[in-house]
Chain A
Amino acid sequence: MRTSRFVIAMALGCAFGADWPTDGGNPQRTAWQKDEKILNKDNVKNLKIVWKIQLDNKPIEMHSLFPPLIVDKVNTASGPKQIAIVAGVSDNIYAIDVATAKIIWQKHFEYPTPARRGRPTDPLCPAGLTATPVIGPPNANGSRTVYAMAGDGEVHSLSVADGEDVAPPFQFGYPYGKSYALNLWEGVLFTTTAQGCAGNPNQMWSVKINDPSHKVMTYNPKSGGLWGRTGAAIDESGVAWAPTGDGRYDPATQTYGNGLIGAKVVGNELKLQDYYEPKNWAWLQSRDLDMQVTPAIFKYKGKELMIAASKECRIYLLDTKAAGGDDHQTPLDRTPLICNEEVNFASAGIWGAMASWEDAQGTRWILSPFWGPSHPDFKVPVSYGPVTHGAVVAFKLEEKNGKYKLIPAWMSRDMDQAEPPVIANGVVYAFGSGENTEQAYPDRGLDDNSPERIHDSTHAVFYALDAETGKELYSSGDQIKSFVHFGGLSIANGRVYLGTFDSILYCFGLEGK
């Protein structure tokens, strides 16, 4: 009986709409919404802001709202609703009725002020909630739970329908330790940490939700931070992949700086399964060009593949079953430099997360955002004017006789600090964050401080692009009034969402849809 109820619940979910239950859309972090039926490349020119809502979340150190999670057909006390769950850095969770833009419930996490925190004004270490939550699959009754980590590192399990605790909170992260987006795979929560905020080690973290002791399992690659924007991506074997920041590579001492590690829960431990190290890791380290982009994982011709990237500004294609081959240093393919000719450590290169989708003809597409000017030697068949501030670049994946190749397809128009895109129904949605990303200044050197960066930031611009050509189909122009730092796009059921620094959540869609 329970099984049949579960099947019915799943079938209803499939029949009525699409979800976006985690940052990047799915545990593999492809950022591809496969179930979009409303928006398409013919009608997105008519996109408009169908609603926006001012939330009472207080921004902290440039951070504000994290990418919304979307669940359709949630049974609430007032009937089934499509709900957007939005986390705010000042320890807030909001559940918003997508149809009416009204808050259904909200939660503020209270806790004693942790003993340590990042330096005030340091944009790297905000003292608050930093991990995008994750929504679990429906239970036997079709109910959904959102798992949200407060700034003190406690995970709260809340009913999506009403915000009530469905289980007692448990400790997972490090207080004010800057955890990245949560991911969930077969009952195991994953996160990563970076920047050593409040003394927190840079490592991968996991915990079994149903473990009564909630033993925290970690793997430390002895590297710089694991700061891929959407945390770890998880492959079909349950291996969580995360990039590692600047550091040495020395397999003899299990030191994996400037690479990509894959770790899996085995028994009650998180154990390294595989890793990839670019051959030029020493150059990357010498110039602070760390790998810090969440990979995207996808199936292609019977194989499970993965794309990763770094601030150096090239993309690597890897096999999740043998990342980097026998020597862990040989990718299936790697692109030439796409940007960052000046080898800038702060405001150029690939940042954030990768994306991938497959078109109706079975062509696999790879998407990457990048910051700064495109590399003058990077040749792409279709482009839209000079790129000086950033863009989204698309590649097609080809395979011949076992050899894989990433073929440049298009480069978008210039975007002011292009952020990770999402894809749905033949349309790429992207945005320039408008964020000032400078960390050092001629008059005083490194001075990465929030007030100055906030002052010098402008506003985000949201775009819809033809996913096969990169042609601009829609631009929000100057309708968005603030910038975005560590926010991101979500898409489901004809609506695209973006939260900005001023704690406004924008919802783009079509009139009457």
Chain B
Amino acid sequence: MRTLAVLLLATLAYAQPPAGRPPLKERAAAGDPEAQFSLGKNYEAGRSGLKQEYAIAASWYQKSAEQGNVYAQASLGILYHSGKGLPHDDVQSEMWLTIAADRVPKDDRDTIVEMRDSVAAHLTPQQLVEAQKLAREWKPKKQP
């Protein structure tokens, strides 16, 4: 009985967000880009009680990326390149990795640049120009 109580408490502790903090899904739906990235990551990995659904992961990354979350931008670029949850599109991949590389804190920049350049190697010169143009023109959007 005592074990059951401990298990129940542990389960509740696992399931509930910290006191005073809305659940991740609520925060994500309310437009919190950090929460959107975390939720996307959980869907991509199939964690925290969620099914592994790349398309839903991509949609949350997209929302977060559009608001300027650099890790979501890079993650979206990775999904576009792998074609998981999204149609394979190296122009979109290059665009998002370029946006992320231009904005990420310098300590993480090398990694994102490495991925960006790796995708660039798959593009024609015209595609690369297009991706770079899209990246230059991109502007963050505040979500409601």
Give chain A's interface residues, CB within 8 Å of chain B: 279-283, 286-288, 312, 329, 336-337, 341-343, 345-346, 375-377, 439-447
Contacts and interface: CB of A to CB of B under 8 A. Distances in A.
A245 to B, nearest CB: 15
Chain B interface size range: 20 to 34
A279 B52 contact: no
B71 A442 contact: no
Contacts, number: 74
B76 to A, nearest CB: 12
Contacts of B74: 283
A367 to B, nearest CB: 23
Interface of B: 37, 41, 45-53, 71, 74-75, 78, 81-82, 84, 104-105, 107-108, 110-112, 114, 118, 121
A445 B50 contact: yes
A409 B57 CA distance: 38
Q: 8 closest A-B pairs (Cβ-Cβ)?
A: A440-B46, A445-B46, A279-B107, A283-B108, A286-B71, A446-B47, A280-B111, A280-B108
Contacts of B81: 341
B52 A441 contact: yes
Main SS class of interface, A: loop
Given A287-B75, A376-B118, 20 more contacts: A279-B108, A280-B110, A280-B111, A282-B105, A282-B108, A283-B108, A287-B41, A312-B111, A336-B114, A341-B82, A342-B78, A342-B84, A343-B78, A345-B45, A377-B118, A439-B46, A441-B52, A445-B49, A446-B49, A446-B50
7 contacts: A282-B105, A337-B114, A439-B46, A440-B45, A443-B51, A445-B52, A446-B52
B117 to A, nearest CB: 8
Contacts of A439: 46
Contacts of B51: 441-445
Contacts of B52: 440-442, 445-446
A446 B108 contact: no
Contacts of A288: 41, 45
Contacts of B108: 279-280, 282-283
A441 B47 CA distance: 10
A444 B51 CA distance: 4
Given A279-B108, A283-B71, A346 B118 contact: no
A446 B110 contact: no
Given A280-B110, A282-B108, A283-B71, A446 B118 contact: no
A341 B41 CA distance: 16
B47 A283 contact: no
Nearest to A282: B108
Contacts of A282: 105, 107-108
B103 to A, nearest CB: 13
Contacts of B75: 287, 343
A251 to B, nearest CB: 14
